[in-house]
Amino acid sequence: MIIFQDVRKVYGKDKTKKVEALKGINLEVKKGEIFGVIGFSGAGKSTLIRCVNLLERPTSGKVLVNGIDLQSLPKRKLREERKKIGMIFQQFNLLHAKTVFANVAMPLVLQGKPKDEIKKKVMELLRFVGLEDKAHQYPEQLSGGQKQRVGIARALATDPHILLCDEATSALDPDTTRSILRLLKRVRDELGITILMITHEMNVIRDICDKVAVIDGGVIVEQGSVLDVFTDPQTPIAKNFVRTVLNDELPDSVKRLIAEKRDDQEHHIYRLLFKGDATNDPLLSTVAKKFPIDLSVYNGMVTEIQGSPFGNLIVGFNGPKETVDEAIRYIQSQNVTVKEVE
């Protein structure tokens, strides 16, 4: 649906002022996905997303949208293709002198659609975002969450195939963020719209994205399914982002216990990571029955990522090394990831 092929973007011509915002981006967003790109401020997120609808033109490389290279299109054709790409912004970008109705109607008015058609479409969209009773209010009479709902309704007015979200929830409180994320999920589930979103908030990625890419200094340093990146982040920056929402930092008392046991040849401590169905299996009791060892759970947490359970347990295995190794191999065969405790 959206393919980035070695996309580079350099701002500024003057050598001393040149900024290389994107340094060869390769990404593929599939139809119907909610794809999140996360990174710190200045990483190149906005530049990346703006290259999709050509609010920024790549310096080199290609962005294909539905197989079409928008850069190759003449102006009129480009305008047509852009209608299929909706966009929402952190600061909502509403017209303050116009009512909610007029804001949502704007893209249709620009297209010269007949009045009754516009009215029908706008009311349908306002119903979809839950604002049918606010049609005649002005943006300043709305809360941040309501303003973003207007932004979403306006972005959907041209029946886009793709919705681009540039930090769509960054100006909102946590509860409002959740309600906007639920709405975006409905945009995908009920309207079949592919969503590319950029954010610096890992909870946004956890709550609605299917795939995630981590961008740092204009480079994608890691990407994969949200479950994989959350449960087994590879790069330090991805680990940091994951830590912001899955606090797997051990309490000091547990750290002390682990340190005390470190020299005990009969005691081995591991971190077990359970994903999906594995979370429901009575694995530890099976292991205790199957192998002549004792188990102690030092710390544990179960959370939900993308509607799928994810468990993280710190377990002490008491017994001879060979037997413990055997038990660990058995655990690994049950689709549970086993790691050394750092």
Ligand X SMILES: Nc1ncnc2c1ncn2[C@@H]1O[C@H](COP(=O)(O)OP(=O)(O)OP(=O)(O)O)[C@@H](O)[C@H]1O
Shortest Å distance, C-beta 158 to Mg ion: 24
State the DSSP string of 140-174. GGS-HHHHHHHHHHHHHTT--SEEEEESTTTTS-H
Residue span 194-223 as binding mask against ligand X, x where in contact by CB under 6 A, dash where not: ------x-----------------------
Shortest Å distance, C-beta 203 to ligand X: 16
C-beta of residue 214 within 8 angstroms of C-beta of residue 241? yes
The piece of 11-19, 70-78, 106-114, 318-326 that touches ligand X (CB under 6 A) is 11-19
Residue 116 three-state SS: helix
Q: Among residue numbers 61 through 120, which ones bind ligand X (CB under 6 A)?
A: none
d(CA 196, CA 4): 12
State the DSSP string of 59-101. SEEEEEETTEEGGGS-HHHHHHHHTTEEEEETT----TTS-HH
**For ligand X, which is the closer residue by CB, 42 or 300?**
42
d(CA 67, CA 166): 23
Among 7, 25, 36, 46, binds Mg ion (CB under 5 A): 46
47 binds Mg ion (CB under 5 A): no
d(CA 300, CA 314): 6
**For ligand X, which is the closer residue by CB, 100 or 205?**
205
Residue 107 site contact among Mg ion, ligand X, none (CB < 5 to 8 Å, cut-off depends on kind): none
Among 14, 15, 41, 74, binds ligand X (CB under 6 A): 41
Shortest Å distance, C-beta 15 to Mg ion: 25
C-beta of residue 315 within 8 angstroms of C-beta of residue 295? yes
Among 27, 38, 43, 163, binds ligand X (CB under 6 A): 43
Residues that bind Mg ion (CB under 5 A): 46
